[in-house]
Chains A and B, each alone.
Chain A
Amino acid sequence: MSKAPSPMSWRRGDNIAGRPWRGRVRDYDLFKELVIGVVVVGLLVVGLSAVFSSPDDPGVTLKSWATVAPSDFIATATAELGGTSDTAAYGQPYSATPDATQKLGFIDLQALSGVRIPIDTANDFVLTPLKTLPTPPPALAIWSAATAQEQTKWTSDYATALAAVTNGDPAHVAPGDYGPVPALTGALLTMAGSGNLDGVLQSGGQPYNLNYTPTILFLGDGTYFAGLADAAHLTGDQWGVMNETGNTPGQSWLWLFSLFYQIPPFNSSPNADILVVAVMVGLSLLLTLLPFIPGLRSVPRKIPVHRLIWKDYYRNR
């Protein structure tokens, strides 16, 4: 004799949930309900749009960065040239930097994905754009002729010198042997300030290009871009994933995803992203497959919210 499934089971058993309804019925007009729903929701959509509109803060350009925060631009360009920026040290998919990837225990999906979008920050963000100028700076030839050790020492010393002066102002850097680095970064600043670098960096030499990866990564390596986001309450430690500029609600349905970034152990882990994604995937699977899980699927029986939902039905018993 087979055991009858629990009343909370998803299985179609010989019970009231599994059989066609034998009681009374009431009139129901599906299309009428759909039309009423569309009209009501349509009025809400039009009303909310008319009253609250939608935010549209202009994007940041390399030109605006170079104009408003030239010192940050120079410091970032120096880091790109020296291969010490966040992008240069990121690992897959941009570079093969060892031990840079996020891991879930011994699982390293990031490394497995490979270097699919290779980015050499010195060449891609600084040297190649400068070569497109009508008169490329002579410092390019000095850089190319130098050894890797010399290049590293120049950029490292210049970065240290920039960090030592107030506001990182290149005009007040202590005298030293920085090779062609000040000339190269200065030329890139001028190029960016004219608006030329935005086009060159984004287009990659092609007439059509919809890929903004180099621009976004270069912007993100500086502090100016993050500072704007911080002022707009959009950074990760400000629940930024679910926020929108201004007071407009953003992706509020990502509240749980954002929450994990605010609490231990996630907020201090070098593997925070992979850990949070893993937890969210696990929780999503748990909710999707909840009807298969004895105990959890009985929660609606133990906490009788259903008595509120079917209040009229139960009241008429």
Chain B
Amino acid sequence: MSTVKEPTPATDPDVAGTSAHTWTGKSRGWFLNHLPPDKLLPEDQPSYVASWAYVFGMGAVAGLVFVIASGFVLALNGPQWYHVSSFGHFVNSMHLWSVELFFMFLVVHLWIKFWMAAWRGGRILTWITGMVSFLVSVVTAFTGYLLQTNFDSQWIAFQAKDALNAVGVGAWFNVANVGQIFMWHITLLPLAVGAVVALHVLLVRAHGVVPPLDAAETDAQLRETTPPKLARGRIDHE
């Protein structure tokens, strides 16, 4: 039997002033409060977000796009297809080089964020998810090298078993078991990388880009190099 309910006043500051009274409504309020559309898809950034250093994060994301796309084609055709097809070999090459570029961008991005001390101002989870992205990506790439089904993968399997056996996980992460490693490489680990990277990007949007270490409260100390634009909803007293 359905009942008519009067909205109860919300005490949660995230949903205060809204009519949210269900889990769904409160969740919507929480998301809109922490990640409003203009933060999620911004059209402007603070004036200090103007450096070549910012391209590497986006470069890593672009690299990941090609890693996933080329990996998707390889997965659809099976791990041995590229041995017998010239197109397959080219897709395999794209997979390899997109992984190399992905890691290059990712590592440079990580070190730049270290020198920026980009964890400041409540951005700790952004830093941690970035580091976890790197570490999970390393494991994912490693399983890819094991799936080459050629001499290199045979030798890597033979050598790498010792480290995995030494820590007691060799039976569940058996590098010589292609079926097991295939499962890790095309399902579990990509899902983990995708989820952590997505969370990382959302956190970057939610918290914004960290200001320079010696930044002042406003741009009053800056010489004008471009026509000024004011932060939305703020009055500039400069």
Partners in one complex: yes
Q: Which residues of A contact B (CB under 8 A)?
A: 7-13, 15-31, 33-34, 37-38, 40-42, 44-46, 48-50, 52-60, 90, 92-93, 101-102, 109-110, 112-114, 116-117, 210-213, 215-217, 219-220, 225, 228-229, 232, 234-236, 240-241, 244-245, 248-254, 271, 273-274, 276-277, 284, 287-292, 297, 300-301, 303-306, 309-314, 316-317
Closest to B48 in A: A313
- What are 29 pairs between A and B in contact, CB < 8 Å? A9-B120, A18-B121, A20-B231, A22-B218, A22-B234, A23-B46, A25-B232, A26-B49, A44-B97, A52-B97, A56-B92, A57-B151, A102-B162, A109-B166, A117-B170, A225-B155, A228-B151, A241-B159, A250-B145, A254-B142, A277-B166, A288-B127, A291-B124, A300-B114, A300-B116, A309-B53, A310-B51, A310-B212, A314-B212
B residues 149-202 near A (Cβ < 8 Å) are 149-163, 165-172, 174, 176-180, 182
Closest to A40 in B: B62
Indicate whether B117 reaches chain A with its CB closer than 8 angstroms: yes
Indicate whether B72 reaches chain A with its CB closer than 8 angstroms: no
Indicate whether B22 reaches chain A with its CB closer than 8 angstroms: no
For the complex, what is the distance from the CA of A11 to the CA of B153, rounded to whole Å?
A: 45
On whether A10 and B162 interact (CB within 8 A), knowing A24-B229, A26-B45, A216-B154, the answer reads no
Least Cβ–Cβ distance between B33 and chain A, in angstroms: 13
Residues on A with beta carbons closer than 8 Å to the beta carbon of B142:
251, 254
Least Cβ–Cβ distance between B232 and chain A, in angstroms: 8
For the complex, what is the distance from the CA of A232 to the CA of B152, rounded to whole Å?
A: 9
Closest to B141 in A: A251
Instruction: Check B101 against A44 for contact (C-beta < 8 Å).
Output: yes
On whether A234 and B155 interact (CB within 8 A), knowing A10-B122, A253-B103, the answer reads yes
Residues on B with beta carbons closer than 8 Å to the beta carbon of A317:
221-223
The answer, among A10, A101, A228, for a CB contact under 8 Å with B119, is A10
Residues on A with beta carbons closer than 8 Å to the beta carbon of B231:
20-25
The answer, among A15, A46, A252, for a CB contact under 8 Å with B94, is A46
On whether A288 and B128 interact (CB within 8 A), knowing A17-B210, A21-B46, A26-B226, the answer reads yes
Q: Count B-side interface residues using an 8 Å CB cutoff.
A: 110
For the complex, what is the distance from the CA of A250 to the CA of B49, rounded to whole Å?
A: 34
Instruction: Check B149 against A59 for contact (C-beta < 8 Å).
Output: yes
Residues on A with beta carbons closer than 8 Å to the beta carbon of B228:
24
Residues on B with beta carbons closer than 8 Å to the beta carbon of A289:
128
Residues on B with beta carbons closer than 8 Å to the beta carbon of A19:
121
Instruction: Check A37 against B93 for contact (C-beta < 8 Å).
Output: no
Closest to B46 in A: A21
B residues 219-238 near A (Cβ < 8 Å) are 219, 221-223, 225-226, 228-232, 234, 236
Residues on A with beta carbons closer than 8 Å to the beta carbon of B208:
20-21
The answer, among B51, B122, B171, for a CB contact under 8 Å with A18, is B122
On whether A49 and B93 interact (CB within 8 A), knowing A211-B179, A253-B107, the answer reads yes
Indicate whether B10 reaches chain A with its CB closer than 8 angstroms: no
For the complex, what is the distance from the CA of A64 to the CA of B91, rounded to whole Å?
A: 29
Instruction: Check B230 against A24 for contact (C-beta < 8 Å).
Output: yes
Instruction: Check B89 against A314 for contact (C-beta < 8 Å).
Output: no
The answer, among A42, A56, A274, for a CB contact under 8 Å with B89, is A56
For the complex, what is the distance from the CA of A184 to the CA of B123, rounded to whole Å?
A: 66
For the complex, what is the distance from the CA of A196 to the CA of B93, rounded to whole Å?
A: 33
Residues on A with beta carbons closer than 8 Å to the beta carbon of B165:
90, 92-93, 110, 113, 273
Residues on B with beta carbons closer than 8 Å to the beta carbon of A56:
82-83, 89, 92, 148, 150
The answer, among B116, B167, B210, for a CB contact under 8 Å with A110, is B167
Instruction: Check B122 against A219 for contact (C-beta < 8 Å).
Output: no
Q: Which of B138, B213, B222 has the most CB of A within 10 A?
A: B213
On whether A116 and B171 interact (CB within 8 A), knowing A10-B127, A26-B50, A300-B213, the answer reads yes
Instruction: Check A274 against B211 for contact (C-beta < 8 Å).
Output: no
For the complex, what is the distance from the CA of A215 to the CA of B178, rounded to whole Å?
A: 12
Indicate whether B216 reaches chain A with its CB closer than 8 angstroms: yes
The answer, among B43, B162, B217, B232, for a CB contact under 8 Å with A16, is B217
Instruction: Check A34 against B154 for contact (C-beta < 8 Å).
Output: no
Indicate whether B47 reaches chain A with its CB closer than 8 angstroms: yes
Instruction: Check B168 against A113 for contact (C-beta < 8 Å).
Output: yes
Residues on A with beta carbons closer than 8 Å to the beta carbon of B153:
59
B residues 53-99 near A (Cβ < 8 Å) are 53, 55, 58-59, 61-63, 65-66, 70, 82-83, 89-90, 92-98
Instruction: Check B229 against A26 for contact (C-beta < 8 Å).
Output: yes
Least Cβ–Cβ distance between A233 and chain B, in angstroms: 11
The answer, among B59, B119, B163, for a CB contact under 8 Å with A291, is B119
Residues on A with beta carbons closer than 8 Å to the beta carbon of B117:
8, 291, 297, 300-301, 306
Instruction: Check A23 against B166 for contact (C-beta < 8 Å).
Output: no
Instruction: Check B212 against A211 for contact (C-beta < 8 Å).
Output: no
Instruction: Check B59 against A24 for contact (C-beta < 8 Å).
Output: no
On whether A48 and B167 interact (CB within 8 A), knowing A54-B92, A300-B114, the answer reads no
Instruction: Check A249 against B168 for contact (C-beta < 8 Å).
Output: no
On whether A45 and B97 interact (CB within 8 A), knowing A10-B123, A27-B44, A29-B43, the answer reads yes
B residues 116-145 near A (Cβ < 8 Å) are 116-117, 119-124, 127-128, 131-132, 135, 138, 141-142, 145
